[in-house]
Structure 1
Amino acid sequence: MEKTIDIGQYVAVAVKWLTDNLRPFFDFIKVTGNTGIESLEWVFVQTPFYIMIALFTFIAWKQAGKSIALFTVLGFALIYLMGFWEETMQTLALILASTFIALVFAVPLGIWAAKSPTANRVIRPLLDLMQTMPAFVYLIPAVLFFSIGKLPGAFATIIFAMPPAVRLTTLGIEQVPKDVLEAAHSLGATSKQILFKVELPLAMKTILTGINQTILLSLSMVVIAGMIAAGGLGEKVLEGINNLDIGLGFESGLSVVILAIILDRITQAFGNKGLSK
């Protein structure tokens, strides 16, 4: 069937215009982003594995209990013995950097959407687009803007993983009891004081749930990011697929699962337990 409306050509023109006219800006972002991710990766990789395992085990024990701490020890030990420790630390660095950047944008957007019905009407369709668009599509502008490497992988991950944090921040703010807000207003609190001392603390559990979902969605992008040389476990999974190496694919995929479970349980525990102390 012949096209009658060619939306894609307008998107392509817009992306080309951005690439041609904002090249210095994208180069600056690329250098800055790669430096940050690679620095974090260097710290994780150069730190002895037993120190990293002990650190994560301690956090898991303090926040999630003995069973998760035991799983953390055994899971990370298995990853190390399978020979995927360095790739796991590379993936962890990419996930944490992507999650941090996503939250820098997501939390303010979520607050804005909760405070402004007009902003909410604009932001919600954009979040729907970001969540439902096939993740592979994000790789095209990411590579055009930043070439291949870690930063375009982080760029695609941020776009895909940010919506839950925005939505749950908005939900958390909207669920703050009205009588609490009225009491704060009656005591003469300013809008800024109400936001930082009333709304955000009461909404924090919901916001932490959004952070948890952002981390898990970031991990789901690991293999896709591996397609553009982002490194880590994603490249190993992709290598297993390309070579039909069942053993390599299973072991690297299992490493992703172990890392996902550890991060999921720890971040869940921060929301369920950490705030109640």
Structure 2
Amino acid sequence: MRQPRGLQGTHETLKWHLFCDDLFFCVHVFTGESIEVSTAWVYDGGVREIFRHENTLQQSAADYLDISSRTLQIVDVDGGVSIVCRDDSGEVAFSMELKERNVFAWKDPADPDNEGVIHWPDMSGTATYKGKTYSGHGYCKRVMWAESPRYWGYRFLQSTKPDGSLALWGADGVFGFSKYDYFRLVRPDGTLLSADPEMSSHKQNTFYAKAGDTNYRIAFEELGYWETRLVSKSMDSMLRQQYGRMTLFANEKEVTSGPAFREYCYGTLG
């Protein structure tokens, strides 16, 4: 599917990340009523920030996602995305080419009148970094809200088997006074498993969910983190993004392990 134009609405989040063996690449764009922040970082044995900029992006005249600044270019390529990240000197720090496999979208339960969220949980792709190209598996999320709550907080986790044959993701959040929980797992054939929202929750480093007769537990181990404040005259939120490893258990039997991304954010919107 083609992604719509960027920098729309009063709140928009765009996020891509890619696991390539022991390398990890993350790009994040956040737009609120009073702030726009674009960031990129890499894990290559340690966390390396590529850039963090405010109010630099522009959407082209195209009717699809095509946003750019002096350090970031994100272009929809119909079924995927092309991303180029430059450091402050203008040199290309890394680039990514991602292709979609399965796309899942649903309305935002906090406000059904909003556009909602779109997830690409099992993308395939390549990253070019320090003169070498690496293959991997990744993820994209896009949130578009015409109206956003004043207060929010959430934890989010996404992971994939190293061969890309299974991907999982889930969140535990509060948006205003609305509670929002989910756990989803997409199998190699594209079928989707969803847990009962009442039986899905996050702890500090453990995620629990139940689907049918199966109890799932995900143990997360952090290897590195990057964080920033999203702050303006009318907004103050703390965002932390983590790279690490997860182990998935079903009825306390280990199913798989692999690289994982976790994010949490809390504060005010505006």
The TM-score normalised by the length of structure 1 is 0.23
Structure having the larger proportion of residues in strand: 2
Structure showing greater radius of gyration is: 1
Structure having the larger proportion of residues in helix: 1
The TM-score normalised by the length of structure 2 is 0.24
